[in-house]
Amino acid sequence: MRIVKTAEERKNEILDVAEELFAQKGYDNSSTNDIIAKIGIARGTLYHHFGSKEEILDALVDRMTRDGINSAETISKEKRLSIYEKLTGILSSLSVKSSAGKEIMEQMHKPQNALLHQKMQERLINGVVPLIAQLITEGNKSGIFKTRYPEEAAEMIMIYGNTAFDDNENLTPGQKKKKGKAFIYNIEKMLGAKEGSLEKPLKQFF
């Protein structure tokens, strides 16, 4: 007797297994056969729920980035937080992105995952850059920042942050720490913030 589930249940089941496999072997090296074998469903079932392998990836990227983007949105709305705290809060919420898929982050930069990386980056940029840009604009008005290009500064922060903190496996803890400090320092300078103004609130999150 075959097992029937609701579309949503089945979709999530597929995404769960896909996430696990992609984390282990990478996107390119995981086949749709691997997925259906692990779940115990037929080819037709998989393609009943998703139109293609890439569509599975898209849905997975969506699910993986949703948390990060949501918490970034929540943080940016918190009225009792200062702009400094909001900005550093958003950045650190992204660096811990996908608590479930920590493993997947560790091989994000590998060739088999180039597409996954690109899609995640695009998604995060679209979701978070506007929030950061908004924060910078506010900071400009209140006088704690001073830059003529909030939007582009936000983009630069996001793109660099997302690419640079991906593949930190081969770095010593000391190097990691330096890289993080440099990041904050560079943001401060780019935004025309007072030196150290972002470093302090960041410590809340570590």
Partner DNA sequence: CCTGCAACCGACAGCTTGTCGGTTGTTATT
Partner DNA sequence: AATAACAACCGACAAGCTGTCGGTTGCAGG
Closest CA to 129 of 205, 188, 199, 68: 68
Taking CB within 5 to 8 Å according to partner kind, which of DNA, a copy of itself, none is near residue 137?
A: none
When binding is defined by CB under 7 A, the residue of 16, 21, 38, 49 that contacts DNA is: 49
Q: Is 111 in the site for a copy of itself (CB under 8 A)?
A: yes
Q: Is 61 in the site for DNA (CB under 7 A)?
A: no
Torsion (CA) 2, 3, 6, 12 in degrees, nearest 10: -120
Q: Is 12 in the site for DNA (CB under 7 A)?
A: no
Quick check: 86 and 75 in contact, CB under 8 A?
yes
Q: Is 24 in the site for DNA (CB under 7 A)?
A: no
Q: Which is nearer to a copy of itself, 13 or 152 (CB)?
A: 152
Rounded to whole angstroms, the Cα distance separating 45 from 41 reads 6
The amino acid at 197: S
The secondary structure of 59-109, three-state, reads HHHHHHHHHHHHHHHHHHHCCCCCHHHHHHHHHHHHHCCCCCCHHHHHCCC
- Tell me, by CB under 8 A, how many residues bind a copy of itself: 31
Taking CB within 5 to 8 Å according to partner kind, which of DNA, a copy of itself, none is near residue 31?
A: DNA
List residues near a copy of itself by CB under 8 A: 54, 109, 111, 114-115, 117-119, 121, 147-149, 151-153, 155-156, 159-160, 163-164, 179, 181-183, 185-186, 189-192
Where on the chain is the footprint of DNA (CB under 7 A)? 1-7, 10, 30-34, 40-45, 47-49, 51-54
